[in-house]
């Protein structure tokens, strides 16, 4: 195997899945990143981590980026003698911002980039498939890979995705929860069946949300109605009561707010245009967050429109 001699660098964005009614389907990439440097070495798995997960440097083969690299190398057909890894992590862990999807995508893209002439054995579709298999569902990995707004689904056991260009006026604001909530804990709270009227309402709001995020004709006011959910958020309240209470208060103030992924972080989708009162909503959001007395970490971000990128060496077109 002609392993690449120098290190590769991969940048992967945070993501917010569901966006309210788009449960397990919609995802949005955000301008908050993890950066991974990886290289082939003679033996062992030396790992350096700065930021989130810095206590995991001794996990070796169990480190999620390494596991993803091993999975990709197996698909390509060869394993290197050793793997060196340096991670600069800025995506919070266990907060509903796609940290595990980012790690999986980073590992797969790094392995493909290190595989030299064999990289063509792993197509964009194969990358999505491997990442989805490791992550369990495609919503976060699709947004991480494609950037922008993505719709993900599974057909005949295979993940699919389309990438859409959100309006330039959309401004995401993330309120990061002070304590993590495990995705499996949040999922266990969901019922096996929901009322037909709730499912029908969610389907309509999901369609409206895609329009509100991509079509100027929808208008900023549509975002509040478009982010209404009946399928998952309220059911998860026992695991994150402060999150649901913050969302209720924000929405009562006219601010489109949802649980980010499985929580506990909150995502607000503000509109910054001539037809919106962006500054008023941003100030109101800050006041409401402070009134909770909880140590939410609030960040105004942008939408990451390119998705995961191999920064070194120069990538080929597509992820």
Residue 318 placed within a domain: no
pLDDT per position as a tens digit, 70-108: 999 999 999 999 999 999 999 999 999 999 999 999 999
Q: What is the DSSP letter of 237?
A: G
CATH of the domain at 117: 3.30.230.10
Q: In this structure, are 129 and 251 located in the same domain?
A: no
Asked if 112 and 127 count as a contact pair (C-beta separation under 8 A), the reply is yes
Query: How many Cα atoms occupy the beta-carbon half-sphere of 226 within 13 Å?
Result: 22
Residue whose pair of structure tokens reads 């893209």 in the numeric block: 109
Q: In this structure, are 106 and 136 located in the same domain?
A: yes
Residue 1 placed within a domain: no
Q: Which two three-digit tokens encode residue 153?
A: 């689904």
Chain centroid offset of residue 240 CA:
19
Q: In this structure, are 33 and 127 located in the same domain?
A: yes
Q: In this structure, are 40 and 119 located in the same domain?
A: yes
Number of domains the chain is built from: 2
Cα–Cα distance between 178 and 95 in angstroms, integer?
8
Residue 246 placed within a domain: yes
Residue 105 placed within a domain: yes
Cα–Cα distance between 182 and 178 in angstroms, integer?
13
* Domain residue limits at 290: 170-300
Query: ∠ at Cα 219 (218, 221), nearest 5°?
Result: 115
Task: Report pTM.
Answer: 0.93
Residue 317 placed within a domain: no
Cα–Cα distance between 87 and 59 in angstroms, integer?
13
Q: In this structure, are 54 and 30 located in the same domain?
A: yes
In the prediction, which pLDDT does 252 show?
97
CATH of the domain at 269: 3.30.70.890
Residue 159 placed within a domain: yes
pLDDT band for position 7 (cuts 50, 70, 90): very high
Q: In this structure, are 33 and 122 located in the same domain?
A: yes
Residue-averaged pLDDT of the chain:
93
Residue 25, classed as helix, strand or coil, is coil
Whether 177 shows a pLDDT value over 90: the answer reads: no
* Strands of the 297-300 sheet, one edge to the other: 257-259, 266-271, 170-176, 297-300
Q: What is the DSSP letter of 230?
A: S
Q: In this structure, are 198 and 131 located in the same domain?
A: no
Q: In this structure, are 174 and 283 located in the same domain?
A: yes
Residue 51 placed within a domain: yes
Q: In this structure, are 129 and 217 located in the same domain?
A: no
Q: In this structure, are 90 and 118 located in the same domain?
A: yes
Whether 319 shows a pLDDT value over 60: the answer reads: no
Cα–Cα distance between 7 and 310 in angstroms, integer?
11
- What's the average model confidence in pLDDT over 265-292? 91
Whether 117 shows a pLDDT value over 70: the answer reads: no
pLDDT band for position 31 (cuts 50, 70, 90): very high
Query: ∠ at Cα 199 (195, 202), nearest 5°?
Result: 140
- What's the average model confidence in pLDDT over 244-272? 96
In the prediction, which pLDDT does 315 show?
52
Q: In this structure, are 227 and 147 located in the same domain?
A: no
pLDDT per position as a tens digit, 129-173: 999 999 999 999 999 999 999 999 999 999 999 999 999 999 999
Q: In this structure, are 22 and 147 located in the same domain?
A: yes
pLDDT band for position 316 (cuts 50, 70, 90): very low
Which contiguous run of DSSP H or E holds residue 252? helix 241-252
Residue 2 placed within a domain: no
């Amino acid at each position: 195997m002609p392993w690449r001699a120098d290190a590769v660098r991969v940048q992967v964005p945070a993501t917010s899945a569901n966006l309210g009614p788009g449960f397990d389907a919609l995802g949005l990439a955000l301008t908050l990143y993890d950066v991974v440097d990886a290289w082939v070495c003679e033996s062992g798995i030396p790992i350096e981590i700065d930021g989130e997960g810095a206590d995991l440097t001794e996990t070796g083969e169990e480190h999620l980026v390494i596991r993803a690299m091993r999975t990709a190398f197996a698909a390509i057909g060869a394993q290197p003698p050793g793997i060196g890894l340096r991670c600069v992590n800025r995506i919070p862990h266990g907060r509903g911002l796609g940290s595990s999807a980012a790690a999986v995508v980073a590992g797969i893209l790094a392995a493909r980039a290190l595989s030299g002439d064999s990289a063509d054995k792993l197509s964009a579709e194969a990358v999505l498939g491997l990442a989805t298999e490791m992550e369990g569902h495609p919503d976060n990995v699709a947004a991480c890979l494609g950037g922008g707004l993505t719709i993900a689904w599974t057909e005949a056991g295979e993940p699919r995705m389309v990438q859409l260009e959100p309006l330039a006026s959309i401004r995401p604001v993330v309120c990061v929860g002070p304590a993590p909530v495990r995705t499996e804990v949040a999922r266990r709270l969901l019922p096996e069946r929901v009322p037909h009227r709730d499912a029908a309402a969610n389907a309509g709001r999901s369609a409206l949300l895609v329009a509100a995020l991509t079509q100027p004709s929808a208008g900023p006011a549509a975002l509040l109605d478009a982010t209404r959910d009946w399928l998952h958020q309220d059911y998860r309240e026992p695991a994150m009561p402060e999150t649901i209470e913050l969302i209720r208060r924000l929405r009562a103030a006219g601010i489109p707010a949802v649980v980010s992924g499985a929580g506990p972080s909150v995502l607000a989708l503000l509109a910054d245009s001539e037809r919106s009162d962006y500054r008023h909503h941003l100030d109101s959001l800050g006041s409401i967050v402070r009134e909770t007395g909880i140590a939410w970490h609030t960040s105004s971000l942008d939408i990451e429109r390119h998705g995961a990128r191999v920064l070194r060496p120069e990538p080929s077109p597509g992820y």
